[in-house]
């Protein structure tokens, strides 16, 4: 069965369980680690939820902070939307085709615009934990090496064999984000909105210091384990793309201390361990930073979409 047929089978299942007003969502939102609260911005009525396990061919998420459900409802009182609360990742053992299958489903549902959010490590020294980065480009080293969601026979029902990605990050949508940011923030707002480049890594390990320096030297501002494969498939389908990263930790770029450094020779083993622990990322840290910044991220996404579809 082709990906086109599998997507249509999933869509048939979903539409049979949806009220009439939610069967043709205009926008799809993918909620990253700690950002599932975006689903609470959807109006309480009409509303429908589906566990991933119940949807034909849909990949299941096994990661903490990813609830694993599709939520259909209205954003801003009138925008029909579908929210993916949690995503499947390549490092969980899913293929690239499985990871990106929900994007195919969104296309067949009639979605025009997809908004992708994620938790990411900050590589740019100007970025602080809690800042939001609006993505305008990416580095997909795995894809360049052949681990690519479009590898294999092309499904012409979705798109062309060789889709360009130089225009992947919709400029008009990014302009709306900056305008929305000015509308929702106050002089007391601590976090900043940046634009930058996202580097995809396979995970599940966080990056070494040398890997972080390499990615930064190559032009990446943030790094994470998702989003880019979904963007590739979204553009293959002809969907408009808006993507944002919440900076949940600062990657460690300083070189690791050398074992023969003279100043380290008299330090106890515990002190040496503390030097290596400094700045080390952890998943709980990522989730906590996501919780702390969730309100601003939610406001930004909703206000942007209200502005976009209100002016369409």
Concerning whether 142 is annotated as a catalytic residue, the answer is no
CA distances from 179 to 1, 79, 148, 193, 310 (A): 44, 19, 34, 11, 14
Q: Is 33 a catalytic residue?
A: yes
Q: Is 226 a catalytic residue?
A: yes
Question: Which residues share a beta bridge with 85?
Answer: 31, 69
User: Catalytic annotation on 283?
Assistant: yes
Active-site entry in 7, 10, 28, 89: 89
92 is catalytic: yes
- 225 catalytic? Reply is yes
Q: Which of 39, 119, 199, 234 is catalytic?
A: 119
DSSP assignment of 38-76 equals GGGGS-SSSEEEEEGGGSTTPPPP-STT---EEEEEEET
Kindly state the DSSP code that residue 192 receives in the 8-state scheme: -
- Active-site option among 3, 7, 28, 33: 33
Q: Are 119 and 64 in contact (CB under 8 A)?
A: no
What number of helices (H) and strands (E) belong to the chain?
8, 9
d(CA 95, CA 107): 20
Question: How do strand 240-250 and strand 27-31 relate by DSSP bridges?
Answer: unpaired
Q: Are strands 69-75 and 79-85 parallel, antiparallel or unpaired?
A: antiparallel
- Does the active-site annotation cover 125? no
Catalytic residue among 66, 176, 194, 236: 66
**How far is Cα 113 from Cα 173, in angstroms, rounded to an integer?**
9
Whole-number Å distance between alpha carbons of 95 and 202: 11
Q: Which of 283, 285, 288, 292 is catalytic?
A: 283
Q: Which of 9, 49, 57, 91 is catalytic?
A: 91
Q: Which of 220, 249, 289, 293 is catalytic?
A: 249
- Is 119 labeled as catalytic in the residue annotation? yes
Q: Which residues of 231-250 are buried (b: 16+ CB within 10 A; e: fewer)?
A: bbbbbbbebbbbbbbbbbbb
Residue from 248, 289, 214 nearest 122 by CA:
248
Whether the CB-CB separation of 228 and 143 falls below 8 Å is answered with: yes
Catalytic residue among 92, 180, 230, 244: 92
**Residues with catalytic roles:** 33, 66, 89, 91-92, 119, 225-226, 249, 283
């Amino acid at each position: 069965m082709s990906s086109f047929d599998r997507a249509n089978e999933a869509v048939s299942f979903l539409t049979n369980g949806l009220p009439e007003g939610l069967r043709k969502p205009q926008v799809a939102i993918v909620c990253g680690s700690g950002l599932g609260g975006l689903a609470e911005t959807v109006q309480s009525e009409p509303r429908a939820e589906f566990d991933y396990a119940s949807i034909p061919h849909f990949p299941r998420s096994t990661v903490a902070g990813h609830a694993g459900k599709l939520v259909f409802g209205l954003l801003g009182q009138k925008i029909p939307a579908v929210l993916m609360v949690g995503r499947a990742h390549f490092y969980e053992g899913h293929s690239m085709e499985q990871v990106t299958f929900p994007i195919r489903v969104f296309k067949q549902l009639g979605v025009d615009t997809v908004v992708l959010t994620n938790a990411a490590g900050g590589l740019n020294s100007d970025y602080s934990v809690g800042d939001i980065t609006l993505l305008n480009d990416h580095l997909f080293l795995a894809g360049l090496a052949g681990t690519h969601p479009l590898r294999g026979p092309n499904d012409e029902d979705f798109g062309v064999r060789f889709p360009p990605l130089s225009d992947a990050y919709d400029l008009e949508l990014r302009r709306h984000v900056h305008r929305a940011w000015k509308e929702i923030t106050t002089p007391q707002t601590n976090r900043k909105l940046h634009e930058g480049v996202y580097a995809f890594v396979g995970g599940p390990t966080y990056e070494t210091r040398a890997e972080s320096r390499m990615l930064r030297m190559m032009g990446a501002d943030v790094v994470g384990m998702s989003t880019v494969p979904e963007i590739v498939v979204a553009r293959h389908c002809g969907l408009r793309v808006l993507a944002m990263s919440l900076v949940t930790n600062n990657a460690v770029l300083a070189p690791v201390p050398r074992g023969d450094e003279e100043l380290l020779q008299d330090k106890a083993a515990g002190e040496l361990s503390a030097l290596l622990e400094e700045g080390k990322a952890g998943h709980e840290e990522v989730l906590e930073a996501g919780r702390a910044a969730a309100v601003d991220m939610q406001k930004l996404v909703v206000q942007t979409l209200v502005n976009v579809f209100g002016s369409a």
